[in-house]
Amino acid sequence: MMHSRKKRLCSVLVLLCLCVSLLIAALDGTAAWNLIAQRNRTTLKLWYTDEDLTDYLNKESVLFNERQGRTRLEIRLVGAAEFLEKISKASLEGKDFPDLYILTNDLIEKAVLSGLSSDFCATDPAINQTLFPETALRAGRYQKKAAAYPYYYDTSALLYNKTYLDQMIREEIEDEKLQEHPEAQPGDPVLEVTKEELEAREKKILPHQIADIVSFARNYNAPDDVEAVFEWDINDIFYNYFFVGKYLNACGKDGDRTKKLDLYNDQVISCMKIYQELSQFFAIDPSLVNYEKVSKDFLSGKIVFTIATPDMLTKIRKAKEEGDCAYEFGVAGIPALNKELGTKNMSVTSCLVINGYSKSPEEAGRCADFLVKQESEEMFDSAGKLPVKRGLSYRDPNLKEFLRVYEDSVPLPKSMESSDLWIRLERAFTQIWKGAEVNETLRLLSEEMMQQVTGKEVHEKKIPDPPTVSILSDLEEE
């Protein structure tokens, strides 16, 4: 009897050992298959130069790798200096080169002519007006074909101290209500200013023309902290370009027609005369101003209106988190110069480019498509970048306003032969601000640039000065 029990116990133990062995074998087999699957996955390499993107791209690559069975993404931060040269060298050597990379749109022509841009995205249906604004499509286009996937953008807009404007508006509305109800006492509900009233009046009071800012400066009873009603970095063409952007043709609408330059015409002359006139109202010394100083003064309440890029919103958030900013701010489109002359600002679009040397262009295209469609407000929260994708819902209305401004902007041109236009244009702006003769300064600028792009000696015939229109002429008529 005892012997029988021992025999049954041994049988059970043998069976258990067999089950455990089979289970281990199964697990080992699964691990082996997983290892094989990992080895068979195509590895895509993405290069980028902006350190601010690291955390965001790390999260996106993890998400991409979790969702893809046959492809995995690796990201690599590379120094910005001679970025395309580094990609070209690695690609030609066939060692550790990127399948796709992030590049600003002004360098797309160089990438295409260097063989560093694949034709794959030219036929990718994901690049369309449903997903992207026309500005983004133009930025990523070269010779009428899509050469890159638009990813995120940078542009300038009018920023204002909302706290100051609301305070002024509140006082105005309260005075109006007191006139309607002279018997009312402080604290009386009839004198209460509602949020809706503030918002409606703010929309009305925001400048529609530059002259409105001048008029505001003349009549504004500024708080003690305010040192300037309107100040911006007049040394940087990115913040000045809007003065001529609507009438200056820099290499065509896609920025890739080298000889399509029109820098010297009646409208540009008139716009720059208004720019020069502003130097009389807003005494900004070019030697004392720069973007960092303007940003600091704006955040501390020393400036009411400024021209700034989306990074200002990041600075505002950081200052609030650290308790160093007590103001609210708003974003608006850049106003027209006057009733006849409009404005149009410049933008830079960072794009995902598929390397022409990639052995997996289709997989790289799917990866780029994934990344641009994943864009959300988290991209701004994590990296301080504003995605170009349409249809995003923003908690912060200022981000939505920046996108609206971007959609009406001029993409930075791609033409390599006109790459120093911005340095020359920047210099012309500084000279004109300091009092140089507008017509002659622009004529010489155009002459220099046309000689550069044509390789021939060019003599621009002087255009007769258009009638001078004062920035305040519209206000004086009223």
Contact 324, 311 (CB under 8 A): no
Look up residue 287 and give its amino acid: S
Q: Kindly report the pTM of this predicted structure.
A: 0.87
Provide the pairing of β-strand 149-155 with 346-354: antiparallel
475 backbone φψ class: left, alpha, beta (φ>0; ψ -120 to 50): alpha
30 pLDDT more than 70: no
Amino acid at 375: E
DSSP-derived secondary structure letter, 212: H
- Per-residue pLDDT band at 473 (split at 50, 70, 90): low
Give the whole-angstrom CA distance, residue 285 versus residue 272.
Answer: 18
pLDDT tops 80 at residue 259: no
CA angle (318 as vertex; 312, 319 as ends), nearest 5 = 85
Summarised one tens digit per residue, pLDDT across range 302-314 is 999 999 999 999 9
Q: What is the Cα–Cα distance from 185 to 218, expressed in whole angstroms?
A: 31
> Which of the two residues, 90 and 469, has the higher pLDDT score?
90
CB atoms within 10 A of CB 422: 18
Residue 86: pLDDT over 70 = yes
Which sign does the torsion angle of CA 372, 374, 377, 382 carry?
negative
pLDDT of 392 over the 90 cut: no
Which pLDDT score, from 0 to 100, does residue 257 have?
75
pLDDT at 395 over 50: yes
Longest dimension (CA), the chain: 124
For residues 420-445, give the mean pLDDT.
Answer: 94
pLDDT band at 31 (very low <50, low <70, confident <90, very high): very low
- Tell me the C-alpha distance between 369 and 261, whole Å: 34
Phi, psi at 461, each rounded to 5°: -75, 135
Q: Give residue 1's pLDDT.
A: 47
pLDDT grade for 393, boundaries at 50, 70 and 90: confident
pLDDT digits (tens, 9 = 90+) for 57-70: 999 999 999 998 88
C-alpha separations of 460 from 442, 445, 468 in Å: 10, 10, 22
Domains and CATH numbers, the chain: 42-153+348-392 (3.40.190.10), 157-344+417-477 (3.40.190.10)
Share above pLDDT 70 across residues of the chain, in percent, rounded to a whole number: 90
* Band (2; pLDDT cuts 50, 70, 90): very low
* Mean pLDDT to the nearest integer, 18-26: 50
Phi, psi (rounded to 5 degrees) for 187: 90, -10
